Homo-oligomer: A and B are copies of this chain.
């Protein structure tokens, strides 16, 4: 396929269509609305299902229903709308049906603004819904990655009967880049052994539910979810690395924060600073092993996010106090620029760094001092 110039949001919509999306349910919200608008035209053209739901609550439960019917289904939204889906997501997880949800994150909390943000990392990765469950969470940093990960999200969701979220910020959603679309996959319904699509003379009735009155049964269900999660952790970790081989310092950042860091890393390299970049592509499962190994040899980590340090905790869990960790974040829709990250790299490279330090607290002091 030749390269075409795609806008992130529309690329995600078309990629989902190519991946065999059979039904879309969504509700308008900036900066995600282009996905819904694109599909409002595209899906009916193809004779597929498009419904603008009455709300995100309605949308996620329509997704839940269609997922139970065994078709490829997706919803997309942005931060406040995704918060309204937490009950539904917990039900979907508890019912063990596959579903894809895209969150084009915006500045928060509350109504906040529509600028690019990564403030929903914890909600997505550590489960904003009630109860124990872990979704797969993919974090594209470019339009091409947005396309590839959207397609992947459907396969993973079905393979593991789980929720697969794609989280990106407004930058990736609004940006245009050359990208290649995959071939159109035919819509075929896998004959899932679990789908409640009507007996149709073929089989015994099926039930899909998330209620297990007997705690022992519910615990078994939780263990079933955990065993899938174990497989996911073993098989599905994905990340991109830049200049890590000889890196003395490692920046860890996902999505836009990651690619902004790449620019800074290049300049720093020109200035002779041996810094590398690790950009998690799956933030859940989190690339623990590679960080674990890096922690053995590098002299410091710099975590950069467009939030107050959410992924930071996962990095700290992986590093286990073996190397100093520093943090730089911008919040509320502010996108860090390469110059800022470069300064941070220089600061970190200059040292001294302390393992005992609380990176978040130190960062807060710097932020409030400078303001």
Binding site for B on A (CB under 8 A): 57, 79-80, 82-84, 86-87, 90-95, 105, 107-113, 115, 117, 119-120, 122-123, 126-133, 209-223, 225-227, 230, 307-308, 310, 313, 316-317, 320-322, 330-335, 355, 361, 364, 367-368, 371
Contact = CB atoms under 8 A, between A and B. Distances in A.
Given A109-B133, A219-B334, A223-B371, 7 more contacts: A83-B86, A83-B87, A84-B84, A107-B131, A109-B132, A219-B330, A226-B308
A128 B316 contact: no
A109 B93 contact: yes
Contacts of A123: 86, 127-130
A164 to B, nearest CB: 16
Contacts of A226: 308, 364
Contacts of A227: 364, 368
Nearest to A114: B213
A108 B94 contact: yes
A331 B222 contact: yes
B219 A331 contact: yes
B219 A110 contact: no
A331 B132 contact: yes
B212 A112 contact: yes
A236 to B, nearest CB: 16
A189 to B, nearest CB: 24
A132 to B, nearest CB: 4
Q: Copies per complex?
A: 2
Contacts of A127: 122-123, 128
A154 to B, nearest CB: 22
B211 A110 contact: yes
A90 B83 contact: yes
A326 to B, nearest CB: 15
Given A94-B108, A126-B122, A113 B215 contact: yes
A220 to B, nearest CB: 7
B334 A216 contact: yes
Shortest beta-carbon contacts, A-B, top 7: A108-B131, A110-B210, A94-B110, A218-B332, A109-B131, A320-B321, A215-B333
Contacts of A111: 91, 94, 209-211
Contact of A87 (B80, B217, B317): B80
A191 to B, nearest CB: 25
A358 to B, nearest CB: 9
Given A112-B94, A321-B322, A128 B86 contact: yes
Contact of A109 (B91, B122, B213, B335): B91
Q: Which of A216, A220, A227 has the most CB of B within 10 A?
A: A216
Contacts of A213: 113
Contact of A80 (B90, B107, B216): B90
Contact of A79 (B131, B215, B313, B320): B131
Contacts of A109: 90-91, 93-94, 129-133, 210, 225
A47 to B, nearest CB: 32
Contacts of A308: 132, 222, 226
A31 to B, nearest CB: 13
A123 B137 CA distance: 17
Given A91-B110, A330-B219, A334-B215, A307 B132 contact: yes
A359 to B, nearest CB: 11
A317 B126 CA distance: 15
A131 B113 contact: no
